[in-house]
Structure 1
Amino acid sequence: MQFTILNDRRFWLLFAFAITLLGFPYGILTDWITRSGDVYSTNHPGGGDFVVFYVASEMILQGHFRDLYDPAKFSQTIIDRYGSDYEMRWLYPPHFLFFIAPIAKLPYLAAWAGFMAASFAFLAAIGRIVWGKRDIVFWLLVAPSTFLGVLLGQMSFLVGGLMIGSIFLWDRKPILAGILLGLLTIKPQYGVLIPLVLLLERRWLVIGVASATALVLIGASILVFGTAPWHAFLFGMDGANSDILTTASKKFLGLQMSVFGSARLLGADLATAALLQGLSALLAVVALVATTLSGARRDTKIAMLVTATYLVSPYVLFYDLVAPTFVALWLYFGKEREQPPGILFSALLIFVAVLSFVNGATVAFGFGSGPIAFFALAIALLLRGRAETGRNGRSLRGPLIKGKCREANAA
């Protein structure tokens, strides 16, 4: 077929990304440029959410470790520094403090820029290792999830890189995958289903390395910061966590990608939203187990693991989409396959890759599209896995256990 730009998959992906930049949800790009809105104050230019990490670093350097986990004290610290607490709290485990401890030694803007650059460089490096070619760095750079991460000053690049690396690399580099998985405990909700798959596939080396890495991090945090932050994190944060999950703020719920958040946006009470989230989690786990034990190809299983994770968690915000974006890119370009997917599946993958924009558009009509995207992708992956199992004629569980995944997937 004669080449035209309209039959190039890269054109349609770039087109979708460009449309996203023109219509970011809630005018976030405009707020960032004008330093207006609820978070983008002239008091702390740059990523609005980064103020949490910056203030936490200041408190660490001053020795106020436990105060991080006291919502009232943390709020007062932000007010003293900026005049408003911006309704932000510290919700991360103590060993994450190692990642942000020194940043307050720099001016706010320099610290934000440095943190964003370093964390994206980490994501790009992991993406390059997994993908095998440098072109993935370009696609990660122009992805909507990247712009959101920078504008908000969030840790999404770091978490996304850890999740991608731990899942995609446990065949080729199990020790590195285990280390990355241990580090992923800085935001544990995105690794909650990984142990289940590791047990089903009997990947004992990855489990052992991940456990050792997490224990070392926790032990080091106790040695450096003492036990008080851990006690406060485990037993003293009920109020801060419940405030986030029980909020009725339409603006905040509009940024949620979970079943729970979307149900609340539609007006469901807490009990109904929790029930729907529980059903979503149950269905996601069943789909994940079925796919993991099937004869589906490896990328199908990985995509189902990521998709199920986002259906299980009740707290997923619109900047937490780096891993789904990477999976969508992998499947969209047909990595390690002879042919890319068909039109309908490709459209669904683009939908996932620009979900932050689509969700912002649907929220304007009163509903979130996060669960729609992830449920649709889970169903498509189930059908894909079933077809692949039929072609293979057997389960791949045996070859996976024996470390022969690549040979089995090539069949």
Structure 2
Amino acid sequence: MRIADFTAGKNLQRLIYLAVCGLIFAYLCVLVIAVLIGDWLFDANGQPIATDFLAFWGAGKFVLQGHAADAYNLEMHKSISSAESGAVFNGYYSWQYPPTFLLVTAALALVSYPAALVSWMAFGITFYAFAIRLIGETRLAVLAAMAWPPVLWNTAVGQNGFVTAALLGAAIASIEKRPALAGLFFGLLTYKPQFGLIIPVALIAGGYWRVIGWATISATAMAVLSIAVFGTQIWSDFFDTAAKINGMILVDGRADFSKLQSLYGFVRALGGSLTTAWVAQGFLIAALGAGIIWIWLQKGAFHVKAAALATATILGSPYAFIYDFVALAVPLVFLGKTGFSAKESAVVIAAGILVGCGPSQYAPTAFFSALLVLSLVIGRALQVYAVPIRPAVSRAGMASAN
């Protein structure tokens, strides 16, 4: 390597470092300004501002009061949570997480709603940073993941995107060397069952039976623990409420189809029928599944397999919102372990800009961002796994040519 090339590489890394630090600083400024002008945490009168996190905190309150099943009574959940927190929630309100997740919400409800929101974000960001460090193994990887635009979106609404991304990333990163840990994380990820469509396909194709076994044990243990704490009826309440909420969101569009960052949501937002949307999403899932099987049957280049699985996991779900796309940083960090070419870097920047624009009534920007990341994965997979086609030339033919 020439000295000039080495210097150029150091300059580029320094530029990237400054860029990601600048974005993180900008996010912090946005949050601080939002607090000062009464747009986040507290309004101008000092009253707490309702965010999506109110449902998490309210569910925890029901657990602490010994009425965990009431968390699945949406009208009661909304009214009591608003009354006890002082944050009035206007608009669509839902709680469709399994009883296993209620064990977590109880800890959140031990403090006031604003304090719990800040604590939840602090925990999520820390866990997210841990997972990214596990994948990328560098400080720059962590900083770049913190600069990923959905980080700001997730923080603003107090959602669980950090935890989802951390569980997915840490699970995939642990598959080869720590199967028990990978299984534990996959089991915990069942709190968002909509992201479990592609993961079993990859694990079976790769022959990671120990991971599957540990994931099964992990998920089962949590379910048993929830039954021991809350009883069996609460699971019936959960399934009934989940079915109603899925109907409201996926059929009736109560949360606005344009906010759904999936192919299903895009088709419905364009005016497509329920059947058309499900057929489109079904074809996408089938294509992703086939691609994952092919990639995970190959030898070597685990970072490509990992990036493919993380991307397919996100794209495969018909139920995904902007905050879920914090997890899109996971495949980018896996791919970034071997660096990005100039063209790939342009695609990464474009993906970041798209998802940073947020939900739009014209297009699912996060879904398109994920498609760009998928294009990077496909390009890498073809480079690493595709067998070059060479003309077969016999020795006799070579001899006669000579």
- The normalised TM-score by structure 2 is 0.83
1:283 maps to 287
When residues 381 and 327 of structure 1 are mapped into structure 2, their CA distance, relative to the original with a 3 A threshold, is: closer
Distance 1:201 1:87 in 2: 41
1:349 maps to 348
When residues 135 and 28 of structure 1 are mapped into structure 2, their CA distance, relative to the original with a 3 A threshold, is: closer
C-alpha contact 2:351 2:372 (8 A) present in aligned 1: no
Distance 1:198 1:187 in 2: 18
2:65 maps to 62
Q: Does 1:297 align with 2:325?
A: no
2:201 maps to 196
Q: Displacement of 1:372 after TM fit?
A: 2.7
For 1:71-150, list aligned pairs within 5 A. 71-81=74-84, 82-84=87-89, 86-150=91-155
Gaps spanning 5+ residues in structure 2: where? 390-402
Deviations 1:115-169 (A, max 9, x none): 2112221222222233223333323333323222221111111111111011111
Q: Displacement of 1:65 after TM fit?
A: 1.4
When residues 40 and 313 of structure 1 are mapped into structure 2, their CA distance, relative to the original with a 3 A threshold, is: farther
When residues 28 and 313 of structure 1 are mapped into structure 2, their CA distance, relative to the original with a 3 A threshold, is: farther
Tell me the SS of whatever aligns to 1:87.
coil
Larger Rg: 2
1:406 maps to none
Distance 1:4 1:389 in 2: 30
Distance 2:79 2:358 in 1: 33
1:386 maps to 382
* Worse-superposed segment, 350-359 or 143-152: 350-359
When residues 18 and 256 of structure 1 are mapped into structure 2, their CA distance, relative to the original with a 3 A threshold, is: farther
Q: Which of 266, 273, 277 matches 1:273?
A: 277
- The normalised TM-score by structure 1 is 0.82
**Amino acid in structure 1 at the alignment position of 2:307:** A
Q: Does 1:160 align with 2:201?
A: no
For 1:125-274, list aligned pairs within 5 A. 125-248=130-253, 252-274=256-278
Give aligned-pair identity as a percent: 27
When residues 187 and 392 of structure 1 are mapped into structure 2, their CA distance, relative to the original with a 3 A threshold, is: farther
Deviations 1:231-258 (A, max 9, x none): 1112343222211223446x84343221
For 1:293-372, list aligned pairs within 5 A. 293-295=297-299, 297-331=301-335, 333=336, 335=337, 337=338, 340-360=339-359, 363=360, 366-372=362-368
* Worse-superposed segment, 236-245 or 132-141: 132-141
Gaps spanning 5+ residues in structure 1: where? 394-411
C-alpha contact 2:311 2:331 (8 A) present in aligned 1: no
Distance 1:64 1:149 in 2: 29
1:8 maps to 12
When residues 369 and 6 of structure 1 are mapped into structure 2, their CA distance, relative to the original with a 3 A threshold, is: farther
When residues 381 and 137 of structure 1 are mapped into structure 2, their CA distance, relative to the original with a 3 A threshold, is: closer
